Amino acid sequence: MNIAIASGKGGTGKTTVAVNLALALEDVQLFDCDVEEPNCNLFLGFELEPVEEVTCLVPEINPDKCTLCEKCADFCKYNALAALPNKIMFFPSLCHGCGGCSLVCPAGAIEEKLRSIGRIEKASSQTSLKFLRGILNIGEAMATPVIRSLQRHLDESRPVIFDSPPGTACPVLAVMGCADYCVLVTESTPFGFHDFLLALEATRALNVPVGVVLNRDGLGDSRVEEFCRAEGIPILLRIPNDRMIARLYSEGIPFVKEMPDWKEKFEDMFETIKALVCKSTGVQ
């Protein structure tokens, strides 16, 4: 079972929920899919070792064969190739690796080679928690391929928790798209509610069942609650607006470690999700 933890905007406590949930459970996997800002390990403090280089195919132009016909530069939709009077310039950071330029080149002057855009790392320590994360190299734009590579390391026999990137753009959909259940973390404030609706729209577009974690509960009003009740969206957990929790967060300490009664609450939440997933897929 794959559970994605997501939110319409960063800073709502998505990583906190993912990490605490993973730590509260036995025998689960935690995948940090927020490849632009993989923050889970700030709270876990694991030793990490590289497992894979994520690459993308990019063109390499052989100047001896190139006739400067400019077909490749005309074709490229991302302006990654520019035709100069005496050569074709390539801008790697703009290339999406579509392979189109080598396809259209009439002279066979373009070969493709691999270029690193990020890497996958895993926790080396002998913990019951299997932790992996993807990292996109700074200045690269293609987060989705890194997420896809990360997802290939899934062990289907155990539940997995994805810390999804914030927002509703492509990388988020790549994470939600392979989840059986999506947990949206939000606050019951005008901003929180607005961002929550954006994320909810994304889960609906992908047809993934959703539940809500209300973070900093007690602050704000009941608008998220009322909306969820009306729409039949379960509220799985409430994390109070507690200074102790905020402080532990600022120190990088997962609060289940310091406040053991929370372990049970996260376990309950997990059981609820399990039941809800069974209900929505039909019991096998």
Partner 1 sequence: MRQLAIISGKGGCGKTTLTAAFSSLSGNSVLADCDVDASDLPLILKPQVLKTEDCLGLELASIDLKLCTGCGICREICRFGAVLENFTINPYGCEGCAVCTVACPENAVSLMPRVSGQAVSSITRFGPMAHAKLGTGEEASGKLVNLVRKKAVELADRYSCKLVLIDGPPGTGCPVMAAITGTDLVLVLSEPTVSGLHDLKRAIKLTAHFRIPTVACINKYDLNEKKSLEIEAFCREAGIPLLARLPYADITTEAMMKEETVIEYAAHSGDSGAVEFANIVRNLWAELEMRLSETFKKEMCPKALRIRGT
Per-residue CA distances from 132 to 51, 154, 161, 166 (Å): 9, 9, 11, 18
CB of 85 to ligand SF4, least distance (A): 12
> Secondary structure of 96-136 in the HEC alphabet?
CCCCHHHHHCCCCCEEEEEEEEEEEEEECCCCCCEEEEEEE
User: What sign for the dihedral angle of Cα 139, 144, 145, 147?
Assistant: positive
Nearest Cα neighbor of 212 from 160, 245, 230 is 230
Q: Pick from 51, 69, 137, 241: which binds partner 1 (CB under 8 A)?
A: 241
Tell me which residues in 78-137 interact with partner 1 (CB under 8 A): 78, 96-100, 103-104
Q: Which does 241 bind (CB under 5 to 8 A by kind): partner 1, ligand SF4, none?
A: partner 1
For residues 140 and 165, give the distance between their C-alpha atoms in angstroms, rounded to a whole number. Answer: 15
Select the span of 59-67, 127-135, 156-164, 217-225 touching partner 1 (CB under 8 A).
217-225
Q: Pick from 59, 118, 159, 167: which binds partner 1 (CB under 8 A)?
A: 167
Select the span of 55-63, 145-153, 177-185, 247-255 touching ligand SF4 (CB under 6 A).
55-63
Q: Is 129 in the site for ligand SF4 (CB under 6 A)?
A: no
Cβ proximity of 239 and 213 under 8 Å? yes
Cβ proximity of 110 and 59 under 8 Å? yes
CB of 203 to ligand SF4, least distance (A): 23
Instruction: Provide the 8-state DSSP code for 28.
Output: -
Between 84 and 198, CB nearer to partner 1: 198
Q: Pick from 84, 89, 114, 198: which binds partner 1 (CB under 8 A)?
A: 198
Q: Is 235 in the site for ligand SF4 (CB under 6 A)?
A: no
For residue 145 the two structure tokens come to: 């391929």
Tell me which residues in 97-126 interact with ligand SF4 (CB under 6 A): 97-101, 105, 107, 109-110
Between 101 and 273, CB nearer to partner 1: 101
DSSP state letters, 229-278: HHHT--EEEEEE--HHHHHHHHHT--HHHH-THHHHHHHHHHHHHHHHHH
Q: Is 227 in the site for partner 1 (CB under 8 A)?
A: no
Between 83 and 276, CB nearer to partner 1: 83
CB of 280 to partner 1, least distance (A): 21
Q: Is 186 in the site for partner 1 (CB under 8 A)?
A: no
For residues 123 and 177, give the distance between their C-alpha atoms in angstroms, rounded to a whole number. Answer: 25
Angle between helical axes of 223-231 and 190-206 (0-180°, round to 10): 30
| Binding positions for ligand SF4, rule: CB under 6 A | 58-59, 61, 66-72, 75-76, 78, 80-81, 88, 95-101, 105, 107, 109-110
